[in-house]
Amino acid sequence: MNAPFAGLARNGFVHVTVAFLAMGSWAAFANRGHPMPAPLQAGLIQGAISASITLILKRAVDALARRFQGIAALVVPPAAAGLVSASLLTAIHTIAGTPEVVATIALPLTVATSYAAVYNFTFWRSGR
């Protein structure tokens, strides 16, 4: 990996910005069949939530993993991250009146939970 790209890959601001743009765009796309401003609103809301989750998820998984041993340390952190993410995404989009809640949260929830599971597994396997 070249140095400029490696620097970007380690930059938290870049991760948050990419999460905002990618998942916000997905939410707008998922709601494209509805009149404006619904797609735009869903995109902005999802972008903000994804940026926040990106900031918090790694720390939360780390904290939970330290509290458990054995197989529980493998399963509980990503499961908890997924459940909390699903609850927050569902509640916020429902309150905001997002028309296509399930379609809107499907991709961001899958990405966040998958990231939490893979991230946690790499450290669990190494015996952290």
- Please name the residue ranges forming H helices in the chain: 3-9, 12-30, 38-67, 70-96, 101-125
With 0.85 as the threshold, say if the pTM is over it: no
What is the pLDDT, as a whole number, of residue 86? 96
The total domain count for the chain is: 1
Q: Model confidence over 69-111: pLDDT tens digits?
A: 999 999 999 999 999 999 999 999 999 999 999 999 999 999 9
Domain span including residue 69: 3-125
Query: How is residue 33 annotated by DSSP?
Result: T
Are 61 and 119 a contacting pair, CB within 8 Å?
yes
Q: Model confidence over 33-70: pLDDT tens digits?
A: 999 999 999 999 999 999 999 889 888 988 998 999 99
Q: State how far the Cα of 128 lies from the Cα of 120, in Å rounded to an integer.
A: 10
